Structure 1
Amino acid sequence: MHLTDKQLSSAQATAQLNKPQLVLGAKGKAVKELQKLLIHWGYCPTINGIFRQTTLEIVKAFQYRVFLKPAQQLSSAQATAQLNKPLLVLEAKGEAVEELQKLLNHWGYYLTIDGIFGQTTLEIVKAFQRRVFLKPDGIVGNLTWQALYIGSPNMPILQRGSKGQAVITLQETLQITGHYTERIDGDFGSITDAAVRSFQKDAGLVADGIVGSRTWYAMSKIFAAMGC
């Protein structure tokens, strides 16, 4: 059977792929296949065949990335509670630190997996936080854990007329890339709009001036390349 250009409903698509619908609590080979596919696209769930909360959050992140109905944004407290991860700081030890180090290795930061949150791990955590536009304080809490699992910034959608701290972050990043040379004022006006469109064009994105998940992700790669 050949698909036409007509958009399929999710039920039709699932039927034609002959795949079961998966929800929280599901188990089995289909869940393992899902988890392997998520790894293929740069996410890092554990391949255990169990559709737990961590897999759910990664699925939501992937859905947002491909412009399916996005998940409801979690507050930082909800994110930590649902992922059930401890707060980690310098000198912490144990399995959670090992998991943190494995996740950092997955995203291209190479460090020894020893379960000890030493100075090297601290500096790499700060580098990762900068990459996903979090405060680089080296404290692994709610938002940092969430970013480690989905691998991309959890930033708001911005466009002309937006204002605030997220716009400041955007302008600072565009200054680094050389697309914005004006004053950092947190106001998404015509100059910021032009800078965003220029960046999007250079990054091979649709130059629409809207800073969504794909644009934020493209900007996060700059920090990875700089190793900062």
Structure 2
Amino acid sequence: MIPTPDLSHLNSKDFRNIYEPAEDTFLLLDALEQDQDELRALHPSICLELGSGSGCVTTFLGSLLKPSLAYMVTTDINPHAAIATMATGRKNGISIDTVETSLVQGLLPRMRHSIDVLCFNPPYAVTPSSEIAGNGIEVSWAGGIDGREVIDATLPFVKELLSEKGIFYLLLVSDNKPDEVVRLLQEDGFNAHICLQRLAGREKQLIVKVTRRT
């Protein structure tokens, strides 16, 4: 069993500015751990997390892949999250490079077809569209209409980022119409299916696993 990353360097003041790991985070960790043999056999060169928050997911993935020399990189538009992600990596002995940017902005074309493991726990809460702008903690949850606006804006880039052997893990909730998201990914030429799901209170959380068709 891979331990949850040590976040003792972060406190309640930090979590006023960045997303604190919760049930959705841990479901994503469980999906990665469930696939640990597959991920290690992949021998990934580059792993990318979009919207890294505290850095918990990428740090966990880096620990899972040890002693792999995979390059761990994250993005987050929130400057507090960028700082926290690097600090979490250091605390747990994982080297992480963080790009302070919105989603994939600035990564293409340089990282085209280069990402072997892609993770995204997106802002999925149903909110007014106006709430998805900004660069503070609100962008970690505000998803706009159906909680899908940020998700839908990101999906077209998956084909550009993912390597031929790459795997994409996307967290969704039932409000996001996950069956529709799976269908959109399949229509875009991917294998996509729900690989793990769990109830968190009244909210159903799901992980969609995506690979290229061979």
* Structure 1 and Structure 2 fold alike (TM over 0.5): no
TM-score by length of 2: 0.29
Greater relative contact order (Cα < 8 A, sep 6+): 2
**Greater Rg over alpha carbons, structure:** 1
Task: Give TM-score scaled by structure 1 length.
Answer: 0.28
Structure in which a larger fraction of residues adopt helix: 1
